[in-house]
């Protein structure tokens, strides 16, 4: 059996236009039918069988499978096709039966390559609940929970070939990356926050889900701003705003980020224009992320007021800064205790203190500072720490050099920042992104 001439087996495989994958699938199906379940062959063996390089026939089980496949004795299959052996006549019923069994097996494989819709629904609920409770929990706790949910989404995605489920899971994985980016930013890990926000944007692009791309673009913009790149922040915010499918909330968020960056650049006219856009009533347009999920993906009225208050401070507009900061605090205080964002309360209170210092109201600044100091150390995010440092710098001027109250406030702020920085650096270092 050392001939290298074309065998009958190879001739039959050619007639059927089978690749190795076609052959092995049919071989395994025939093996199941004759009680040899689990029997298969490698591609190397397939090539050797069809090349006529066999020194001996395959084992008895393989021969029985081949005979079931072709209706020809195994010995004849390995003879040269030019010999006296003739190809078998077409057995129409057998061909139909084989086709039907193959279709049944492949349909079963497709059915097994899916997951229950209930699993996807539960994962969606968990991701959205995390986004909606973000402002009431420490960033490190959010980071751990979002990491677990992202891994679940990817695990589920590897188990399904159903297009709708793949689409849903891509979006959910992207949303967890967006939450991770915000948590990493709040913990002061700006490089990792950038990487995670870009991953979220890529998920959004792959899933053709523009609201996620818009949110991630805004996140990249404010990371650029806090990294000392305000011109890049403007570009990223404007680029995100051009995406289709964004609702009014998304546009307000991007305009507020743009206004802050312009203010940092000293471009008062552009900053005022963006501020006006951020408070515009909009056209009643909503999207599936910023509005329907909301939470950290939204942009609440108190967050908008706090952000715009900071912008006014950068513009040197103490009066409007104080009004906006007070408005943000009033909005937070109007909520039930469990729904209040300590980060927004602290940030707005810090801005209120800074605005009062502009008009030399040290007692009023001290009063505002009490709400800043109430924020627990594990919820002192990057934005709040930056505001606290700015207030501390305002207290170091010559006008307060010999004022005991200013000195006391400065010491409190130094401790406030130092404790939070130590805790945040320890938390961010506990995870690899």
Q: Tell me, what's the pLDDT at 396? A: 87
Residue 265: the pLDDT is 96
Quick check: is 135 in a domain? no
Quick check: is 1 in a domain? no
Provide the number of structural domains found in the chain: 2
**What letters, b where the CB count within 10 A reaches 16 and e where it falls short, cover 123-148?**
bbebbbebbbbbbbebbbbbbbbbbe
Mean pLDDT per 10-residue interval, the chain, length 433 residues: 65 85 86 85 85 78 87 80 51 59 57 80 97 94 96 94 94 98 95 97 97 98 95 97 96 97 96 95 92 96 96 95 96 91 94 95 95 92 93 87 90 91 61 47
How confident is the model at residue 307, as a pLDDT?
96
210 in a domain, yes or no?
A: no
Q: Do residues 254 and 214 make contact, with C-beta atoms less than 8 angstroms apart?
A: yes
Is 173 domain-assigned? no
DSSP-derived 3-state class of residue 7: strand
| The domain boundary residue, chosen from 62, 84, 112 | 112
pLDDT value, residue 371: 95
Q: Is residue 50 part of a domain?
A: yes
In a domain, 397, yes or no: yes
The last residue of one of the domains, among 79, 97, 112, is 112
**Whole-structure pTM value:** 0.73
Q: CA torsion sign, 212 to 213 to 214 to 220?
A: positive
pLDDT computed for residue 433 by the predictor = 42
Tell me, yes or no, whether 144 lies in a domain.
no
Which of 59, 81, 112 is the last residue in one of the domains?
112
For residue 235, being part of any structural domain is answered with no
User: What are the backbone dihedrals phi and psi of residue 401, each rounded to the nearest 5 degrees, phi first?
Assistant: -60, -35
Q: What is the pLDDT at residue 209?
A: 97
Q: CA–CA distance from 355 to each of 256, 393, 411 (Å)?
A: 19, 13, 19
Please count the other Cβ atoms lying within 10 Å of the Cβ belonging to residue 209: 21
- Quote the domain boundaries for residue 357: 329-433
Quick one: which of 223, 147, 228, 152 has its CA closest to 428?
147
Q: Looking at residue 84, what is its pLDDT?
A: 47
Per-residue pLDDT, 73: 85
Q: Which residues of 74-83 are buried (b: 16+ CB within 10 A; e: fewer)?
A: bebbbbbbee
């Amino acid at each position: 059996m050392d001939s290298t001439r074309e065998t009958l087996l190879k001739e039959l495989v050619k007639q059927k236009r089978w690749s190795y994958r076609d052959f092995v699938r049919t071989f395994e199906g025939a093996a199941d039918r004759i009680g040899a379940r689990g029997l298969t062959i490698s591609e190397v063996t397939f090539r050797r069988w069809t090349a006529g390089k066999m020194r001996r026939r395959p084992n008895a089980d393989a021969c029985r499978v081949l005979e079931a496949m072709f209706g020809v004795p195994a010995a004849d299959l390995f003879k040269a096709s030019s010999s006296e052996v003739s190809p078998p006549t077409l057995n129409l019923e057998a061909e139909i039966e084989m086709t039907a069994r193959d279709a049944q097996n492949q349909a079963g494989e497709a059915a097994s390559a899916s997951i229950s819709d209930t699993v996807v629904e539960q994962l969606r609920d968990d991701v959205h609940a995390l986004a909606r409770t973000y402002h009431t929990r420490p960033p490190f706790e959010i980071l751990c929970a979002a990491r677990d949910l992202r891994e679940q989404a990817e695990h589920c995605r590897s188990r399904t070939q159903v297009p709708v489920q793949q689409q849903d899971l891509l979006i959910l994985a992207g949303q967890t990356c967006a939450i991770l980016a915000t948590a990493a930013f709040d913990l002061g890990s700006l490089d990792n926050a950038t990487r995670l926000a870009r991953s979220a944007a890529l998920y959004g692009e792959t899933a053709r889900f523009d609201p996620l791309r818009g949110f991630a673009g805004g996140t990249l913009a404010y990371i650029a701003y806090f990294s000392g790149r305000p011109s890049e922040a403007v570009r990223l915010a404007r680029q995100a705003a051009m995406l289709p499918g964004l609702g009014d909330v998304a546009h307000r968020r991007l305009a507020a980020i743009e206004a802050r960056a312009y203010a940092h650049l000293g471009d008062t006219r552009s900053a005022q224009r963006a501020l006006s856009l951020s408070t515009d009533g909009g056209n009643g347009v909503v999207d599936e992320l910023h509005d329907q999920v909301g939470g950290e993906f939204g942009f609440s009225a108190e967050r908008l007021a706090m952000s715009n208050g900071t912008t006014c401070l950068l513009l040197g507009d103490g009066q409007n800064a104080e009004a906006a900061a007070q408005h943000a605090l009033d909005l937070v205080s109007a909520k039930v205790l469990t729904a209040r964002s300590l980060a927004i309360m602290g940030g707005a209170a810090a801005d209120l203190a800074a605005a009062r210092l502009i008009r030399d109201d040290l007692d009023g600044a001290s009063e505002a500072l009490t709400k800043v100091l109430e924020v627990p150390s594990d919820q002192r995010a990057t934005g709040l720490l930056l505001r606290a440092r700015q207030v501390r710098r305002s207290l170091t001027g010559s006008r307060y050099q010999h004022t005991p109250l200013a000195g006391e406030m400065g010491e409190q702020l130094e401790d406030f920042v130092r404790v939070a920085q130590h805790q945040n650096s320890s938390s961010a270092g506990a995870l690899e992104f």
